[in-house]
A and B are shown apart, each in its own frame.
Chain A
Amino acid sequence: MSTDVNVKMEALAGVDPDALPLQVKDLHVEFRTRNGIAHAVNGVSFDLRAGETRAILGESGCGKSVTAQAIMGILDTPPGFITGGEILYRGVDLLKLPESERRKVRANRIAMIFQDALSALNPVFTVGFQLAELFRKHRGMSRQDAKARAVELLDLVKIPAAKQRVNDYPHQFSGGMRQRVMIAMALALDPEVLIADEPTTALDVTVQAQIMALLAELQRERNMGLVLITHDMGVVADVADRISVMYAGRVIEEAGVNDIYASPAHPYTKGLLESIPRLDLKGHELSAIKGLPPMLTNIPPGCAFNPRCGYAQEVCRKDPAPPLYQVSPSRTAACHFWKEVKGDE
């Protein structure tokens, strides 16, 4: 870690430079809506090491983005409320910090990029102005220095003719270029953690490949931790070190990337892997997972996956929900029957 970071962190009481850059412990988030309480996040925990890529994988509505919003402090409140848990930056619980301190950590140490770059950029200012503002506000740079840094950053994310493009507005960039601009904004203040919420979902595959290659390169150079939120099992296989699979607001399996793909220990993970068509396999049967994910206002008792699960027994329909069983020293799965699931591979 650079001394630069150490200097900045000293300002924050309790920071332990040897603690992990990000730890989420038993996070709970609910939305209080007219139709009842939606339990969007129900006890999510994960760790992120420096330089590590942690994928958060799961289908629409399982709570991936809400988890990210809670970490970044951009949860839509009300109706959304964090009702429990800790979000630790190098040992300091962000949820217990005074607002001003918390904002400082989030602006400087943890950054986020979104699926839809256009909505994250301000349409009425040039890209260069928006980048320069970051340096002026958070680093107290002069107008001229800030502008020069903006050009450097656009260069870093491989925008051709950065010197000219710095004066363009967001709408003048293609989808892939806009995503590069957003990466530049996120990396401007040299964060230790980058949270990328579906960063390539809206892009074509050839552009996706460019963006993922760029992210990997920048991450390596900076030894930055990356939380990659996605539903694409191909992308995950390509870049992740560790994976948290989510279902109905819970992490239902956590493991290293090779373990998950070689021998899933939760029926949902296994079902996902069997339901995707593969480019390198022709004519294999797709076995769809039957049914639909539950409404978050009405999660079934016991294991939330039980109405769709081929392994379900009586015990699965009763509270409490299955805990995260230790499958091996380095992996867990929230299924009473993980041995059978993993065994019949």
Chain B
Amino acid sequence: MSDVVLETRDLVKHFPLTRGIVFKKQYGAVQAVDGVNLQLRRGETLGIVGESGCGKSTLARLLVGLETPTSGDLFVQGKNMSNVGAEERRRGRRNIQLVMQDPYTSLNPRMTVGDIIGEPFEVHPDVLPKGKRRARVQELLDLVGLNPDHITRYPHQFSGGQRQRIGIARALALNPEIILCDEPVSALDVSIQAQVINLLEKLQKELGLSYIFIAHDLSVVRHIADRVAVMYLGKIIEIGTEDEIYDNPTHPYTQALLSAVPVPDPKLRGHRDQIVLTGDVPSPANPPSGCRFRTRCWKAQDICAEQVPLLEVRDSSGHPSACHFAEVRDVVHASE
């Protein structure tokens, strides 16, 4: 069996925009995810970065089956999820679990921690007989660094970082191979953020998990990811290994994004190659023709309005980039 555990082909999600209450009439669509191809390999962490509204969460929801694609295919362990029977799809879904951003709203306040972590067994009762569930939940609490005796407590009795651990424990309940983290540490303080990142790394090593790690914090993604995909307005515009993206970015958007991240070292002040973009991100309901970044790109030419640049290797950098004029520019200046 190949070592690709998850794959998408031309995955598309458009949300229809409708007018009228009784006779709904569609007048357009939000192109939230528009033709995404990616592969996740066993045991790796694929980071997905991009600014607010570029489609990261929609992509995550498609991958875990919370959203049905408008078109395109999703393969879990080589099986096309739209062609398999209901039972097989259920098993495929079980293998991918989601950890969400907000530890304050993603947990039901009226359920005990034990019920929250054990809830997946209600949906998939065949995984574990009822009598063994409590022990399993306590084992999971221990695994994520919480006190197993706190099984009867409620979410409000935990801090933000502890709640995120509860979310992780729930995601692990069914022994999935793939964990999808959608901004898992964005709502946490830096000192707590490091605790959760270290926990995710430890679990990956111990359980052989594959991660898709979505975040808008490029420093966090560099730390945790093996490969990185950069999204802009529903499309992946550059993808490569962590080194390729951070040290040799070739797409102007990636370069601008990286150059905007402040580095916690005052000695670098004024020495960074900062690209300040002008203008706002266009609406995904009405994206620009050709290259979607062209309205903010300082390198745009006529061809950029006419032809959609494909995500392919064009220059010596060796990794795919969706820019007609892809070329390496070092914007981060590695410190070590």
Among residues of B, the one whose C-beta sits closest to the C-beta of A243 is B266
Q: Given A205-B51, A206-B277, A288–B261 Cβ distance below 8 Å?
A: no
The reply to whether A279 and B190 contact each other, CB–CB distance below 8 Å, is no
User: Given that A204-B51, A205-B257, A209-B274 are contacting pairs, would A275 and B193 also be in contact in the complex, using a CB cutoff of 8 Å?
Assistant: yes
> C-beta contact mask, B293-336 vs A, less than 8 Å → 1, else 0?
00000000000000000000000000000000000000011111
* Nearest-neighbor residue (CB-CB) of B224 within chain A: A277
Among residues of B, the one whose C-beta sits closest to the C-beta of A280 is B335
- CB neighbours of B334 from chain A (8 A): 280-282
In Å, the complex CA distance between A207 and B217 comes to 13
Contacts of A207 in B (CB 8 A): 51
Interface contact A213-B276, CB-CB below 8 Å: yes
A216 to chain B, nearest CB (A): 11
The interface on chain B, measured as residues whose beta carbon lies within 8 A of the other chain's beta carbons, has a size of 49
In whole Å, how far is A268's beta carbon from the nearest beta carbon of chain B? 9
Decide: A204 near B52, CB < 8 A? Known: A258-B267, A276-B264, A277-B219.
Answer: yes
A275 lies within 8 A of B257 (CB) = no
Interface positions of A from 81 to 130, Cβ below 8 Å from B: none
Any chain B CB within 8 A of the CB of A190? no
What distance in Å separates the Cβ of B84 from its nearest Cβ neighbour in chain A?
Answer: 38
Query: Binary interface profile of A, 51-76, with partner B (CB < 8 Å = 1, else 0)?
Result: 00000000110000000000000000
Binary CB contact string for chain B from 243 to 268 against chain A (1 if under 8 A, 0 otherwise): 10010000000001111111111111
Q: Within B205-221, which residues are at the interface with A (CB < 8 Å)?
A: 216-220
A172 within 8 A of B: no
The answer to whether A205 and B198 touch across the interface, beta carbons within 8 angstroms, is no
Q: How many interface residues does A have (CB within 8 Å)?
A: 46
Chain B, Cβ-Cβ closest to A275: B194
- Contact between B262 and A234, CB atoms less than 8 A apart: yes
Q: Which A residues lie within 8 Å of B243 (CB)?
A: 282
Closest chain-A Cβ to B220's Cβ sits at a distance in Å of 5
Give Cα A206–Cα B223 distance, bound, in whole angstroms. 20
Kindly provide the distance from the CB of A50 to the nearest chain B CB, expressed in whole angstroms.
21
Cross-chain contact B257 with A206 (CB below 8 angstroms): yes
The residue of chain A having its C-beta at the shortest distance from the C-beta of B334 within the complex is A280
Q: Which residue of chain B has the shortest Cβ distance to A279 in the bound complex?
A: B219
A residues 159-205 touching B (CB-CB < 8 Å):
174-177, 204-205
In the complex, B285 has a CB within 8 A of chain A = no
Q: Which residues of A contact B277 (CB under 8 A)?
A: 206, 209-210
B246 contacts across to A, CB distance below 8 A: 279, 282
Within 8 Å CB of A174, what residues of B?
280
Does A235 interact with chain B (Cβ within 8 Å)? yes
Instruction: Give the docked Cα–Cα distance between A204 and B253 (Å).
Output: 13
Q: Chain B residues near A275: list those with CB within 8 A.
A: 190-191, 193-194
A237 near B265 with CB under 8 A, answer: yes
CA distance A174 to B216 in the complex (A): 18
A277 proximity list for chain B (CB < 8 A): 194, 197, 217, 219-220, 222-224
Q: Are A272 and B52 in contact (CB under 8 A)?
A: no
Contacts A60-B189, A277-B219; is A205 near B261 (CB within 8 Å)? Answer: yes
Residues from chain A with a CB closer than 8 A to the CB of B160 are 60
Distance A292 CA – B160 CA, assembled complex (angstroms): 10
Question: Once the chains bind, are B260 and A292 in contact (CB under 8 Å)?
Answer: no
> Are A279 and B218 neighbours in the complex by a CB distance under 8 Å?
yes
- Whether A261 sits at the interface, judged by CB under 8 Å, is yes
CB distance A281 to B335 under 8 Å?
yes
Nearest chain B CB to A254's CB is how many angstroms away? 16
Closest to B278 in A: A210
Please indicate the chain A residues that have their CB under 8 angstroms from the CB of B274 in the complex. Answer: 209
Cβ–Cβ contact B266 & A258, under 8 A? yes
A59-B191, A60-B189 are known contacts. Are A238 and B262 too (CB-CB below 8 A)?
yes
Contact of A209 among B216, B264, B266, B276 (CB under 8 A): B276
- Given the known A-B contacts A205-B257, A233-B190, A261-B266, are A279 and B222 also in contact in the complex, defined by CB atoms under 8 Å? yes
Closest to B221 in A: A277
Query: What residues of A have a CB within 8 angstroms of the CB of B190 in the complex?
Result: 59, 231, 233, 272, 275-276
Chain A residues numbered 213-261 whose CB sits less than 8 Å from any CB in chain B: 213, 231-238, 240, 257-258, 261
CB neighbours (8 Å) of A278 from chain B are 219, 222-223, 263-265, 335
Q: Is B151 an interface residue (CB 8 A)?
A: no
| B183 at the binding interface (Cβ < 8 Å) | no
Contact of A279 (CB < 8 Å), options: B197, B198, B261, B280: B261
Q: Is the CB of A237 within 8 A of B263?
A: yes
CA distance A94 to B51 in the complex (A): 42
Q: Answer yes or no: A287 CB below 8 A from chain B CBs.
A: yes
Residue of B242, B257, B263 with most partner-chain A CB within 10 A: B263
The complex places the Cα of A238 from the Cα of B223 at a distance, in Å, of 21
Q: Does B155 reach chain A (CB closer than 8 Å)?
A: no
On whether A288 and B336 interact (CB within 8 A), knowing A258-B267, A277-B219, the answer reads no
15 extra interchain contacts, Cβ-Cβ under 8 A, other than A207-B51, A234-B261, A279-B261? A209-B260, A209-B274, A209-B276, A209-B277, A212-B262, A232-B262, A234-B219, A261-B266, A277-B194, A278-B219, A279-B246, A279-B263, A284-B336, A288-B191, A292-B192
Pick 8 A–B contacts, CB within 8 A, sort by A.
Answer: A206-B260, A240-B266, A261-B266, A275-B191, A276-B190, A281-B335, A288-B194, A290-B195
Binding site for B on A (CB under 8 A): 59-60, 174-177, 204-210, 212-213, 231-238, 240, 257-258, 261, 271-273, 275-284, 286-290, 292
B interface residue numbers (CB < 8 A to A): 51-52, 159-161, 189-195, 197-198, 216-220, 222-224, 242-243, 246, 256-269, 274, 276-278, 280, 332-336
Closest 6 CB pairs of A and B: A234-B262, A277-B223, A288-B194, A275-B194, A209-B260, A289-B191
